[in-house]
Amino acid sequence: MYPQATDIPNLFEDLKRAVRYALEEDVGSGDITAQLIPADREARARVITREDCTVCGRAWVEEVFQQLDPGVKLTWHCEDGDKVAAETVLFELEGNARSILTGERTALNFLQTLSGTATTAAEYAALAAGTGVKILDTRKTIPGLRSAQKYAVLCGGCSNHRFGLYDAFLIKENHIAAAGGIDAAVRQARDIAPEALVEVEVENLDELATALEAGADVIMLDEFSDADTRTALSLAKGRAKIEISGSVDAARLAQLAAMQADYISSGSLTKHLRAIDLSLRIDL
């Protein structure tokens, strides 16, 4: 029911903006250390991963050098979504030495972060393989990198939840209280945007029953016990999709996936990532 984007909304525009800001942040008025190198010095370099990972971020790296110095040539040895082993050369660079060194950190920051997201997603996808459950990300993303991390999640083999506050209703505890209850909130949602997906977060089986009667498309089970989760799945069968959420990490994922809910969502995909250890080695 969630739209699975092969083309993340605004991805290209977000990418260019993120790279432009990152270069402004790092380079500022100019790279004074790079001035130690003769302006006409040419160099070659290679970027390796020091650990196994799922690669993501090629377009961000390319955009860094496109904005900084289009004369720097990049030769890639992998694609986004590829699983590579430690010490693999991911890509090579050839061009002005100053430009390569000035762009190094910004390019690697994007690549290590997005590869970290994709690597976590690949781990989660493997744990749920064969169950039919879709593993969803959340809006718990790095500010300014929403579309980038959503893309990285797809590269790792998981799926996207809503992209923002604008493309689906997710009615949580505070919305329910402010709107006058689950039934009232769902009715208002149908009036506001009849075609939009309506999801309701519930905290117990009584709220589940109310959300089912209200006609929610998806019901999110927040911190349900395993026993209550099984009961909820039985009650909702054929009436609404079920999403399991709350305290979902790699340690619990396989157990939860075996229950065969429709979705499992986890903020860990994007907010608990560990950047991949990458290294640029230059040959003058």
List 69, 92, 167, 222, catalytic entry:
222
CB–CB of 211/182 below 8 Å? yes
CB–CB of 100/45 below 8 Å? yes
In angstroms, what CA-CA distances link 7 with 4, 81, 99, 155? 9, 15, 31, 12
Q: Is position 134 annotated as part of the catalytic site?
A: no
Q: Is position 241 annotated as part of the catalytic site?
A: no
List 137, 199, 201, 262, catalytic entry:
201
CB–CB of 115/54 below 8 Å? yes
List 105, 187, 190, 271, catalytic entry:
105
How much of the chain is in helix, strand and coil states, percent to nearest 5? 45, 20, 35
**How distant is the alpha carbon of residue 96 from its chain centre?**
33
List 16, 44, 139, 140, catalytic entry:
140
List 16, 44, 139, 172, catalytic entry:
172
Q: Specify the amino acid at residue 172.
A: K
Q: Is position 172 annotated as part of the catalytic site?
A: yes
- Sheet of 73-76: strand order equals 73-76, 89-96, 42-49, 278-283
Q: Is position 40 annotated as part of the catalytic site?
A: no
Q: Where are the alpha helices (DSSP H) in 128-263?
A: 146-155, 173-179, 182-192, 205-214, 226-236, 250-257
Other C-beta atoms lying within 10 Å of the C-beta of residue 66: 15
CB–CB of 269/121 below 8 Å? yes
Q: Is position 201 annotated as part of the catalytic site?
A: yes
User: Could you list the active site residues?
Assistant: 105, 140, 172, 201, 222
